[in-house]
């Protein structure tokens, strides 16, 4: 019986598809597998050596125990009612049956196309290779995985008996597990990885294991996942390049003053209080993205606090120390450098939370030097805090405190890992696949260089923050004690510009909105597009995103958003108009060092200390 032309072409296509998954050079492949095992051994040694020396002590048990406890509560809800458990199992079984029926239909003689039982969410880049839909085996894996992960997510969403914190943790842990077990993460279940491994006879795995060993060694026994090629970047050379001087240095902070570029400047200087989690140069990443450079161009005399990267010497430095030796010391340096007492201040993220607490304390102490406050993605009320709240309950905070007590600080890699886990689908697994399985170096990217330039957390400072903000929510409730005083945000009567970001997973827009009600003066609430970084670092020239303005931040958040005015582009010019509306007095430009001795060029020395 003769074959039709179409059937012959189909067989050729099938043979071609199969051949790309067959080893062409078994001897070379075997040699590379041996080399891969050798490199894997080096990775294991890099992990084991600091533990054998006692330099690293694992605290992995605490988060694993918390995840098990959380899943146990979830299981208890579904298994406590046989009818409820049966319905859950039936939904999963039904999904699997649909996947199975589709697979049978796909490999049947007629090759009829079928609709997927479940499709990847919009923006999911894991299953873009054509083989995920064309090859019956990989298509089955993809659909079975998506059905299972979607089912697990729904178990959390429909578990009515869980308290809100447990539900939040369960949802977070389900997402982490789902991201980890995706078939896209493994050689044999990812068609693209499979083909690359066969095509290179396993050389990609040799390179990948070599990179893994290097990254564990760089993390001194912990994996320091590289997210970019960091070699092209150097602080002060092509990052943090806005010209200026160091005008002050305390135990916890350097104070930077930037050179003016206008003939006249606003009479009120601007002091920026960035977070000490990561480093200040997110606001001065490069000339095109630099908020600091842009503010200088608008006529601000800009001062920035550059926090110390703490070590064992700073373990006892409290929040009060960060206020006295950082924020108020910065105000002293501003006055010494310019002769001005009246200052505009900006606080970003936890730097904003510190600024809010400091303003409340200063109001009681009669320090009225700050005349307006701007908060970038800052929480002062933590009722609806973001995903970081998953890591905060009494048991977890106690475990962190125990870990910090050994050295006086929390390793920067621990905080970096926590932040990466908030978006593990974007910040962990794509790099695991690219680096350690494909064996490819990541591309240069200044933002990811900054993201990897992590900082340690001083023990006393970090413990105070976790307990008073995330755990007990004392700041908004008037229960935070600083310098022997119970402080109240209601004492802050200066004008406030409160910026949130629409897609922020660290300081959600709702949380920032609700925090506005606790200030005692006028509050301008503005919601920028995008997230915690891109929503803030959005220069006007980029013409990206939107921002929303409206009435007073009171009442229902969703109603405020529905009535808000949508503006295309950056919020930066809107903020500038807000600042000038409070005081637009201009004076001759001030050059750093005119009235005081400087301590070197910006960006200073503290920012260069790496973990």
Catalytic residues: 349
Backbone angles phi, psi at 531, to 5 degrees: -115, -155
- The span from the CA of 392 to the CA of 470, in Å, is 7
Residue 129 CB neighbour total at 10 angstroms: 16
Which H helix or E strand runs over 346?
strand 343-348
Coil, strand or helix at 458? strand
Residue 41 CB neighbour total at 10 angstroms: 12
Residue 132 CB neighbour total at 10 angstroms: 20
- The span from the CA of 155 to the CA of 70, in Å, is 13
Q: ω into residue 408 within 30 of 0, thus cis?
A: no
- The span from the CA of 334 to the CA of 351, in Å, is 18
- The span from the CA of 47 to the CA of 55, in Å, is 11
**Which residues touch 125 (CB under 8 Å, ≥6 apart)?**
430
- Tell me if 240 sits within 8 A of 602, measured CB to CB: yes
How far separated are the first and last CA of the chain, in Å rounded? 72
Q: How many helices (H) and strands (E) does the chain have?
A: 22, 16
- The span from the CA of 77 to the CA of 156, in Å, is 10
DSSP conformational letter for 466: I
- The span from the CA of 505 to the CA of 341, in Å, is 36
- DSSP assignment of 97-124, as one string? HHHHHHHHHHTSTT------SS-PPTT-
Pinpoint the alpha helices (H) of 298-328: 319-322
Residue 339 CB neighbour total at 10 angstroms: 11
**Of 167, 153, 209, 189, which Cα lies nearest the Cα of 77?**
167
- The span from the CA of 175 to the CA of 336, in Å, is 51
CA quadruple 23, 25, 30, 32: dihedral, nearest 10:
-100
DSSP conformational letter for 249: E
Residue 528, strand partner residues: 501, 547
- The span from the CA of 371 to the CA of 580, in Å, is 12
Conformation bin of residue 341: beta by default, left when phi > 0, alpha when psi is -120 to 50: alpha
**Which residues touch 334 (CB under 8 Å, ≥6 apart)?**
255, 269, 271, 303, 340, 343
Which H helix or E strand runs over 527?
strand 523-528
- Cβ burial of 80 (10 Å; 0-12, 13-18, 19+) is exposed
Q: ω into residue 603 within 30 of 0, thus cis?
A: yes
């Amino acid at each position: 019986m003769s074959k039709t032309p179409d059937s012959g072409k189909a067989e050729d296509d099938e043979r071609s598809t199969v051949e790309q998954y067959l080893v062409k050079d078994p001897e070379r492949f075997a040699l590379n597998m041996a080399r891969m095992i050798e490199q894997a051994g080096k990775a294991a040694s890099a992990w084991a050596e600091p533990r054998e020396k006692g330099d690293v002590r694992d605290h992995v048990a605490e988060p694993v125990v918390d995840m098990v406890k959380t899943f146990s509560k979830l299981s208890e809800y579904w298994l406590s009612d046989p009818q409820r458990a049966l319905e859950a199992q039936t939904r999963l079984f039904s999904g699997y049956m649909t996947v199975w029926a589709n697979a049978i239909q796909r490999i049947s003689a007629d090759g009829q196309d079928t609709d997927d039982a479940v499709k990847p969410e919009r923006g999911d880049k894991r299953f873009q290779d054509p083989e995920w839909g064309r090859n019956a085996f990989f298509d089955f894996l993809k659909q079975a995985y998506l059905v299972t992960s979607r089912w697990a997510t729904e178990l959390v969403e429909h578990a009515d008996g869980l308290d809100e914190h447990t539900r939040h943790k369960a949802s977070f842990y389900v997402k982490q597990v789902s991201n980890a077990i995706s078939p896209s993460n493994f050689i044999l279940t990812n068609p693209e990885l499979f083909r690359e491994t066969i095509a290179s006879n396993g050389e990609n795995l040799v390179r990948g294991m070599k990179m893994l060993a290097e990254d564990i060694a760089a993390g001194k026994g912990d994996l320091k996942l590289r997210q970019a090629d960091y070699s092209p970047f150097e602080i002060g050379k092509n990052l943090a390049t806005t010209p200026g001087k160091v005008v002050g240095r305390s135990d916890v902070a350097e104070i930077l003053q930037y050179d003016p570029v206008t003939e006249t400047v606003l009479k009120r200087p601007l002091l920026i209080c960035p977070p000490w989690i990561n480093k200040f140069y997110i606001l001065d990443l490069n000339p095109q993205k630099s908020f600091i450079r842009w503010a200088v161009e608008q006529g601000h005399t800009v001062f920035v606090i550059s926090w110390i990267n703490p070590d064992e010497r700073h373990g006892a430095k409290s929040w009060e120390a960060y206020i006295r030796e950082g924020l108020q010391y910065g105000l002293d340096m501003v006055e010494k450098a310019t002769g001005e007492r009246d200052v505009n201040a900006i606080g970003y993220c936890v730097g904003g939370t510190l600024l809010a607490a400091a303003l409340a304390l200063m109001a009681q102490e009669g320090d009225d030097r700050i005349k307006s406050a701007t908060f970038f993605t800052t929480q002062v009320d933590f009722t609806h805090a973001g995903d970081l709240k998953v890591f905060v309950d009494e048991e977890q905070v106690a475990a962190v405190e125990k870990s910090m007590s050994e050295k006086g600080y929390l390793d920067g890699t621990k905080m970096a890992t926590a932040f990466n886990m908030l978006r593990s689908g974007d910040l962990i697994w794509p790099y695991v696949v690219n680096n350690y399985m494909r064996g490819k170096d990541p591309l240069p990217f200044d933002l990811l260089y900054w993201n990897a330039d992590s900082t340690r957390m001083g023990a006393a400072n970090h413990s105070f923050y976790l307990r008073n903000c995330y755990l007990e929510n004392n700041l908004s409730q008037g229960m935070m004690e600083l310098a022997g005083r119970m402080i109240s945000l209601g004492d802050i009567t200066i004008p406030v510009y409160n910026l949130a970001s629409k897609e922020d997973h660290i300081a959600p827009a709702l949380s920032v909105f609700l925090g506005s009600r606790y200030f005692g003066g006028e509050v301008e609430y503005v919601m920028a597009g995008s997230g915690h970084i891109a929503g803030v670092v959005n220069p006007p020239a980029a013409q990206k995103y939107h921002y929303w303005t409206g009435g007073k931040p009171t009442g229902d958040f969703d109603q405020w958003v529905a009535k808000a005015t949508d503006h295309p582009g950056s919020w930066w010019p809107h903020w500038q108009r807000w600042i000038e509306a409070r005081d637009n007095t201009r004076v001759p430009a001030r050059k750093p060092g005119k009235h005081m001795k400087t301590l070197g060029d910006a960006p200073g020395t503290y920012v260069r200390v790496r973990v």
